[in-house]
């Protein structure tokens, strides 16, 4: 039986954690506003990864100069894309700019738009039935 990998386990260095958190912040800011659910999601992930509020603020302060950091490892790519989709769906709406960023990220890690759409469908269906 395959062991279930957690985000905390896969992101095993501070560099990986900060790069991933940067990706989340970029996606959260894509629609030009950060609602309460998105903020809470960022705080929850930050706490899980041991990222301080100060580190998150430093990332956010440089938002205009940042781009997605693409991981090298397959499992990390998959877990990050899943978490990005969760972030995108957190406020109950899939905004065009958020979708375009997720689509670009998926393409850069070698995943199709169809796979991205399937993930969105799975996560939004699960969220609405919870």
Q: For residue range 57-91, list pLDDT tens digits in order.
A: 888 888 889 889 999 888 899 999 999 999 998 88
Question: Sorting pLDDT into bands at 50, 70 and 90, what band is 128?
Answer: low
Name the CATH code of domain 10-129 (choices 3.30.750.24, 3.30.420.40, 1.10.260.40, 1.10.3680.10): 1.10.3680.10
6 falls in which pLDDT band (50, 70, 90)?
Answer: confident
Residue 3 has pLDDT above 60, yes or no: no
- Distance between CA 73 and CA 76 in Å, rounded? 5
Cα–Cα distance list, 68 to 5, 17, 89 (Å): 22, 13, 19
| Percentage of the residues of the chain whose pLDDT score is greater than 70 | 93
- Stated pTM of the model: 0.85
- Mean pLDDT, the chain, whole residue set: 87
Question: Structure tokens of 68?
Answer: 């997605």
User: What is residue 1's predicted lDDT score, i.e. its pLDDT?
Assistant: 42
CA 61, CA 20: separation in Å to the nearest integer? 16
pLDDT of residue 123: 83
Q: List, in sequence order, the alpha helices (H) in the chain.
A: 7-10, 14-28, 36-49, 53-61, 74-89, 96-108, 113-129
| Per-residue confidence (pLDDT) for residue 127, from 0 to 100 | 56
């Amino acid at each position: 039986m395959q062991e279930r990998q957690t985000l905390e386990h896969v992101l095993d260095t501070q560099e990986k954690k900060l790069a991933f958190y940067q990706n989340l912040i970029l996606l959260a800011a894509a629609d030009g506003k950060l609602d309460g659910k998105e903020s809470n999601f960022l705080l929850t992930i930050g706490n899980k990864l041991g990222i301080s509020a100060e580190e998150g603020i430093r990332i956010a302060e440089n938002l205009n100069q940042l781009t997605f950091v693409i991981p090298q490892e397959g499992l990390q790519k998959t877990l990050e894309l899943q978490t990005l989709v969760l972030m995108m769906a957190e406020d109950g709406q899939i905004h065009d700019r958020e979708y375009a960023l997720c689509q670009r990220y998926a393409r850069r890690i070698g995943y199709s738009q169809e796979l991205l759409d399937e993930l969105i469908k799975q996560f939004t269906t699960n969220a609405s039935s919870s």
